[in-house]
Structure 1
Amino acid sequence: MSTAAPAPAKGRVRQLRQAYAITKKSDRNIGLILLLTFLVAGGIFGAVGFWAFGSTTLGLILSVVFGVLIGFLAVLIVFGRRAQTAAYAQVEGQLGAAAGALQMLRKGWDVKPAVAFTKNQDVVHRVIGRPGVILVGEGNTARLRNLISAEKKKHSRIAGEDVPIIDLIVGTGEGEVPLQKLTKRVQKLPKKIKPAQMTALLYKVKALDAMRPAAPMPRGPVPTSMKGQRKAMRG
């Protein structure tokens, strides 16, 4: 009988190592921070366990186990947040960064990168979910306004009056959404349509998408690396 470790376990370890290596490039103190997190969280909750379980041998064992488990949990939480921040920092400003962030959305969202674009590499991505149709632009704000306006007209013809069409622009200017806050902003939008309406809408936009030219969007490093970081965090 084979005694080799299961492949999924090896895969998760490899993903964590890759995420750590990527994070360390922009967060050089990540190792020290994680160590301090483990010691502080583990020490505090170990002391709480000692107070709760008593000073007997069993109590000491339970206190140590409790402290170690809480310490590891704290490390995973801190690492997950800092890894995500590092991933956003490394791709911010690159073409396709918003598409990579949007593709990290969980089930229940349909993401279509680069439904519209200009020769100057201004791009509009589309997300369909319970809030309706969300058009997300990245590039020059002035040029994006016209591009998004044209897309809103196209989608409003097929979506109907009951489906909201929301537009967002990724950036750091006034009224714009920072890249690292994009997915949270989308997820917090109020739900306006029912699942059945969303399904019907997806069928309608297929006809619209079939008439479009091929989008010149990079499909390699940005989406893949950001999705890889989140997969590593989820285990």
Structure 2
Amino acid sequence: MSNPAAPPKGRLAQLRQAYTITKQNDRNIGLILLLTFLIGAGVTAILGVLVLGTGLFGTIITVVFSILIGILALLAVFGRRAEKAAYAQVEGQPGAAAGALQMMKRGWNVKPAAGFTKNQDVMHRVIGRPGIVLVGEGNGSRVRSLLAAERKKHVRIVGDSVPVHEVVVGRGDGEVPLPKLVKHLRKMPKSVKPAEQTAIINKLKALDAMRPTAPMPRGPVPTSMKGARRAMRG
């Protein structure tokens, strides 16, 4: 028997799922995509006529390139709006930040739920070129207390030479909205060399070994987001 909860296989199935998710949060997505295709193809067609003329060869090249550019423009717009819709669908749910962070691959080490409170406020740890980034989600005041305590633990182990940053996910003052979280981390100043990241990870293994398992659900972002991005890349 097939698993109904399993993500769809195949590019077309992933595109259909991404479109369905996007349609729930963006009712005008169909019209927007149609206009994007028409504008992209139309502008290309005009340029093609001006450059290549209206002869048979020029017309064929213009039509082919107009369709290709229209499709590329459509997919670019769809990818951005699908990502925005996926974030909107899960923002505020437990584990959403962990799901977004796990989209970060090369050059980043992500440990979801590295710390937590009994009220299910969670701290995720990211190690990358900026150093150590402690990302908290949950109640604002409790999360800040959790991050402050975790910062002290990490500084004791890695020392003052490694920057330890604190980021709270949310819509409040001084917080980073979930859709901007990954971009925010990638724009942080680079203070640690790639070779030093492995040493930092090894040092923190002792701290992680003393922690209990975090009772939190898996982030809901990866399934929808990865499916959409995989379909966009082809």
Structure with the bigger RCO (C-alpha within 8 Å, sep 6+) is 2
C-alpha deviation, 1:228, in angstroms? 2.6
Q: 57-66 vs 212-221, which deviates more? A: 212-221
Query: What amino acid is aligned across from residue 91 of structure 1 in structure 2?
Result: V
> Which residue number in structure 1 is paired with residue 201 of structure 2?
202
Q: In the superposition, relative to structure 1, how do residues 130 and 93 fare at CA in structure 2: closer, same or farther (>3 Å)?
A: same
CA RMSD after TM alignment? 1.3
> Which residue number in structure 1 is paired with residue 139 of structure 2?
140
Partner SS state of residue 19, structure 1: helix
CA contact under 8 A between 1:125 and 1:136: conserved in structure 2?
Answer: yes
> Which residue number in structure 2 is paired with residue 215 of structure 1?
214
1:161 aligns with 2:156: no
CA contact under 8 A between 2:90 and 2:220: conserved in structure 1?
Answer: no
C-alpha deviation, 1:67, in angstroms? 0.8
Partner SS state of residue 191, structure 1: coil
Taking the aligned partners of 2:227 and 2:216, their CA distance within structure 1 comes to 19
> Which residue number in structure 2 is paired with residue 87 of structure 1?
86
> Which residue number in structure 2 is paired with residue 34 of structure 1?
33
> Which residue number in structure 1 is paired with residue 69 of structure 2?
70
Q: How many residues align?
A: 226
Q: 223-232 vs 116-125, which deviates more? A: 223-232
Partner SS state of residue 195, structure 2: helix
Find runs of 4+ consecutive structure 1 residues off by over 3 angstroms: 220-223
Partner SS state of residue 80, structure 2: helix
C-alpha deviation, 1:220, in angstroms? 6.1
> Which residue number in structure 2 is paired with residue 101 of structure 1?
100
C-alpha deviation, 1:229, in angstroms? 2.7
Taking the aligned partners of 1:225 and 1:114, their CA distance within structure 2 comes to 21
Which structure 1 segments of 5+ residues have no match? 1-9
CA contact under 8 A between 2:110 and 2:127: conserved in structure 1?
Answer: yes
Partner SS state of residue 10, structure 2: helix
> Which residue number in structure 2 is paired with residue 118 of structure 1?
117
> Which residue number in structure 2 is paired with residue 225 of structure 1?
224
CA contact under 8 A between 1:87 and 1:229: conserved in structure 2?
Answer: no
Query: What amino acid is aligned across from residue 20 of structure 1 in structure 2?
Result: Y
Q: 213-222 vs 103-112, which deviates more? A: 213-222
C-alpha deviation, 1:160, in angstroms? 2.0
Q: 71-80 vs 10-19, which deviates more? A: 10-19
